[in-house]
Structure 1
Amino acid sequence: MVGPSVTEQTGLSFSHLSYLTFESVLQVVIISFAGFWCAYTGLLPKQGQKIISLINVDLFTPCLIFSKLAKSLSLAKILEIAIIPLFYALTTGISFLSGKFLSYALGLDVDESNFVIANSIFGNSNSLPVSLTLSLAYTLPDLTWDQIPDDNRDNVASRGILYLLIFQQIGQVLRWSWGYNKLMRWSENSVHHTNRLSSQLESQESLGASNNTSGIDLQSGSSSNNEEINLRDSPYYVGTFTKIKQQLLFYVSKFISYMNPPLYAMLFSVIVASIPPLQHEFFNDGGFINNTLSQAISEMGSVSIPLILIVLGSNLYPSGETAALTKNHNKLVFASIMGRMVLPSCFILPIIAGCVKFIKVSILDDPIFLVVGFILTVSPPAIQLTQITQLNEFFEAEMARVLFWGYVVLTLPISIIIVTAAITVLQWAR
């Protein structure tokens, strides 16, 4: 006797499931189109986009993070999410190999290959996946986790945001280190790089001359009558306590340099969630702090996602300042889209499905983790890559084309397919 189909188990037909996904994606598209219209009419110029992005990153997004995470986190959940860095390493490795393969197959040079690899590796884990995950958490059936008593849609949405944010912060570090300094920067053989390098060398020579002068002054000063005092104050003769203090201050400053408002919000969320009385005080219905501070934070957090999508849409409007297209621009766009949204998914999605089916440990058993994993695997290239290409003057026109195809043309159909596939795999795994 044939068992019930997936659609029978969920109570939804394939067309109804596709329709629910279409509604969620269309909501994102409509808000993004409003941002595109603002840029088209001049209401939101480039400078305005940057200001809104800064306000959102420094204020509204941290409020969203705190309001979603601090309420639903616990020490047990914090330990369970340790698997996410492994998932990030897996997806990044497969995406890197996909970009390498496509670049080799299309005969691209070093700079063009780096551009394709960067687009393949750095997917959007912020605007589109966050808004889509929140929408699906309140729309799709069977996303509650049976390991959590009285699990509800709010908890599902909070866990989805948590998974995305951890993935996002790991990607941020890699994007602004390896991506900014290596992958999306002209190589040594580039004419653009050579011209810029010569000007940098000139400035470095002038700085070097001033440093040498200051070094001579120090040497002459050490031969004066105050030689003993200078030696006592030099780094070689400081006390052990001072050395330890300097090392401690160095590591603290290093830690602070890596931190940003969203990371601070995650840190405060963990602190509040780790102290049950404090968590109760913040989120107890009818309590003074909940009715004032917590509600204010929640209200500001609700502004974050619409603003992200407004800026996303405005970024898709072509700017008159964009550089001309290069000879292989079609190859670059094709390889970037294939390497990000198509080829890696052929390998990553079966791996995720197998892990959820046969390795039911930690959050692998959480239905929203499966949905988030599928969405991240096929998400378009990160919007922040446009900022990096602008800063480094690196294939700016090609980047605009990649974003157009990724967000305007392919996001809707691919999202419908991938969410339907996620629900199908979820039912198969159960």
Structure 2
Amino acid sequence: MLNLIIAAVQAILQVMVVVFLGCVLAKYGYFGMDKQRWLSKVNLVFFTPCLLFSNIASVISIQKLLAFWPIPVFYLTYAIMNYLSSQIITRMIGLSPAYRRFVLACVMFSNSNSLPIATISSLAVSEAAHILFWGSDDTSEAVAARGISYTLFFAIFGNLIRWSYGYQLLQKRDDDDTSTIGGGQDEEIIPTISTYQSFETNNISNSSSDDDEYLSTSNLKRDGMPSRQLSSVTISVDESSSLLPQTNKQHNKQIEPTVNDSIIIIIAKKINGFMSPPLYAAFLALAVGLTPLKPLFFDKQSFLYPSFTKAIEGCGKAAVPLILTCLGAQLYSISDSQHPASPEMKKPVATAIAIRMCLMPFLVVPIVVLFVLYGGQFSTLASDPVFVTMMIVLGCTPTAINLVQITQVNNIFEEEMLRMLFWSYGVVCVPVCTFVVFLALNVVDRML
């Protein structure tokens, strides 16, 4: 039993050690707020898409899509449970619409990558590994491989929804009360440059009409000094930011009736406004993984595998450490500022933690138990101890760490999200995740 406790704690500490190092870097002045925002944006538009492309495209296939059909069913079931519980509870306690969106995002989008993978990797080499064996010829390596495969397949659906619907939930809206919602520190709203066009600043001074096309709402310090976003080209994104250049509204009205392709352009902009760089990468990965293109990129004998695919995989491996390091630096900034959380901020954070970490285990475990009891006639996965364990773990993990990227880019809910992650991973995660792992292993030991 002690070995199980150690295995669960080790899995959590893998995450917390990197977060701690981010705190150390921030404490000694290597990681200021401007660098944190800049690095978060680089991670969002480059390293995270590389991670999603390499992980999704390498795992997905038509065969696995058919054999792993219970995984999207579990994800959809969890998503519906999270949505309903969040909507009911936040309305009962009287949260504002903006904070209802915040709680919904924190509850719906959990850590479906780094923490579950670390957990199953630790369990596979622990004393508990024999409980997870599926047959007499199973091995610890096979246990870890199956667990990671299930996790990555589950994460595909989480990433698709997180970087589309989740991205929209954590954006500013016109009716939001910005006086009670945390954004960047000591900032107010004035026009600056949209994120994805911020690297084209050489074009902005051409004319006032060009300014209209590229300006959007962001933040600047109250003291009137130049914004750190402008000085370091790390401009925040609001709800109008997209990957395509913005066009002048009056100009659009003039050309819509006369230009034949205006409808296509409008549709493309609507779709693009809903997309994000990681979501583009996820769809590209599906296009590669489910088509004959996959051997060109992932066959070790192909020309592209050692040259292109390995390069993308290498860049993707930097995404999670960067997210964790930025998280640690941001947490240090909050603790160093001595700025107490307002009651308006404490309520949604506490609500999200209670739903995500305390309520979900009591909803997830019965669903998995029912699948073990009655799902065997529909899928062989119902008899795999690793699958049962991972479905319980994936349903009970803390809030996704990379949501902090979205809040930093959109410049809203930033302080709330940092406090949410601090309490989730720094305080609640170790005891709750240890309990969840115990629960999963007991279910497997008793029922399989």
Provide the rounded CA distance (Å) in 2 between the counterparts of 1:413 and 1:60. 31
Aligned in 2, Cα 1:159/1:268: closer, same or farther, shift over 3 Å? same
Provide the rounded CA distance (Å) in 1 between the counterparts of 2:438 and 2:170. 35
Report the AA paired with residue 260 of structure 1: Y
Is 2:345 the counterpart of 1:358? no
Provide the rounded CA distance (Å) in 2 between the counterparts of 1:76 and 1:147. 25
Aligned in 2, Cα 1:23/1:392: closer, same or farther, shift over 3 Å? closer
Provide the rounded CA distance (Å) in 1 between the counterparts of 2:356 and 2:121. 23
Partner of 1:340: 356
Counterpart mapping for 1:11-410 below 5 A: 14-54=1-41, 56=43, 74-139=61-126, 140-142=128-130, 143=132, 145=134, 152-153=142-143, 155-181=145-171, 185=172, 188=175, 190=177, 214=254, 235=260, 254=271, 259-271=279-291, 282-283=299-300, 302-319=317-334, 325-360=341-376, 361=379, 363-390=381-408, 394-410=412-428
Report the AA paired with residue 282 of structure 1: D
Q: Tell me whether 403-412 or 360-369 shows the greater mean CA deviation.
A: 360-369
Could you tell me whether the CA contact under 8 Å between 1:58 and 1:261 is conserved in 2? Answer: no
Pick aligned residue for 2:438 from 394, 401, 420:
420
**Shift of residue 42, structure 1, vs aligned partner:** 2.4
Could you tell me whether the CA contact under 8 Å between 1:71 and 1:283 is conserved in 2? Answer: no
Q: Tell me whether 382-391 or 398-407 shows the greater mean CA deviation.
A: 382-391
Superposition RMSD in Å:
4.7
**Shift of residue 424, structure 1, vs aligned partner:** 1.5
Provide the rounded CA distance (Å) in 1 between the counterparts of 2:351 and 2:447. 33
Could you tell me whether the CA contact under 8 Å between 2:52 and 2:281 is conserved in 1? Answer: no
Aligned in 2, Cα 1:107/1:34: closer, same or farther, shift over 3 Å? same
For the residue of structure 2 that corresponds to 1:316, the secondary structure is helix
Write 1 or 2 for the structure with the bigger share of helix: 1
**Which ranges of structure 2 fall in alignment gaps of 5 or more residues?**
181-187, 191-211, 218-239, 241-247
Cα deviations by residue, 1:35-93 (Å, 9 ceiling, x for unpaired): 22222322123343345445555665566566666666653212223433332222122
Aligned in 2, Cα 1:387/1:29: closer, same or farther, shift over 3 Å? closer
Normalising by structure 2, what TM-score? 0.67
Aligned in 2, Cα 1:415/1:208: closer, same or farther, shift over 3 Å? closer
Figure out how many residues of one structure are paired with residues of the other and give that number. Answer: 382
For the residue of structure 2 that corresponds to 1:383, the secondary structure is coil
Provide the rounded CA distance (Å) in 2 between the counterparts of 1:46 and 1:148. 52
Could you tell me whether the CA contact under 8 Å between 1:356 and 1:364 is conserved in 2? Answer: yes
Cα deviations by residue, 1:206-252 (Å, 9 ceiling, x for unpaired): x666667x57xx99xxxxxxxxxx8xxx63xxxxxx99xx9699679
Sequence identity percentage: 26
**Shift of residue 25, structure 1, vs aligned partner:** 1.7
Provide the rounded CA distance (Å) in 2 between the counterparts of 1:130 and 1:302. 13
Aligned in 2, Cα 1:401/1:180: closer, same or farther, shift over 3 Å? closer
Provide the rounded CA distance (Å) in 2 between the counterparts of 1:289 and 1:189. 48
Could you tell me whether the CA contact under 8 Å between 1:96 and 1:117 is conserved in 2? Answer: yes
Report the AA paired with residue 156 of structure 1: R
Provide the rounded CA distance (Å) in 2 between the counterparts of 1:55 and 1:305. 13
Provide the rounded CA distance (Å) in 2 between the counterparts of 1:191 and 1:26. 36
Aligned in 2, Cα 1:316/1:75: closer, same or farther, shift over 3 Å? same
Could you tell me whether the CA contact under 8 Å between 1:333 and 1:402 is conserved in 2? Answer: yes
Provide the rounded CA distance (Å) in 2 between the counterparts of 1:253 and 1:114. 21
Q: Tell me whether 410-419 or 52-61 shows the greater mean CA deviation.
A: 52-61
Could you tell me whether the CA contact under 8 Å between 1:127 and 1:309 is conserved in 2? Answer: no
For the residue of structure 1 that corresponds to 2:391, the secondary structure is helix
Provide the rounded CA distance (Å) in 2 between the counterparts of 1:288 and 1:63. 19
Report the AA paired with residue 141 of structure 1: A
For the residue of structure 2 that corresponds to 1:343, the secondary structure is helix
Q: Tell me whether 247-256 or 399-408 shows the greater mean CA deviation.
A: 247-256
Aligned in 2, Cα 1:392/1:20: closer, same or farther, shift over 3 Å? closer
Provide the rounded CA distance (Å) in 2 between the counterparts of 1:149 and 1:272. 31
Provide the rounded CA distance (Å) in 2 between the counterparts of 1:15 and 1:174. 41
Aligned in 2, Cα 1:266/1:36: closer, same or farther, shift over 3 Å? farther
Could you tell me whether the CA contact under 8 Å between 1:61 and 1:262 is conserved in 2? Answer: no
Provide the rounded CA distance (Å) in 2 between the counterparts of 1:101 and 1:336. 12
Provide the rounded CA distance (Å) in 2 between the counterparts of 1:89 and 1:71. 23
Provide the rounded CA distance (Å) in 2 between the counterparts of 1:368 and 1:116. 30
Could you tell me whether the CA contact under 8 Å between 2:79 and 2:108 is conserved in 1? Answer: yes
- Give 1 or 2 for the bigger CA radius of gyration: 1
Provide the rounded CA distance (Å) in 2 between the counterparts of 1:397 and 1:69. 31
**Shift of residue 253, structure 1, vs aligned partner:** 10
**Shift of residue 406, structure 1, vs aligned partner:** 0.7
Cα deviations by residue, 1:390-413 (Å, 9 ceiling, x for unpaired): 555545433332222111101111
Cα deviations by residue, 1:247-280 (Å, 9 ceiling, x for unpaired): 69967995895643354345434446965xx68x
Normalising by structure 1, what TM-score? 0.69
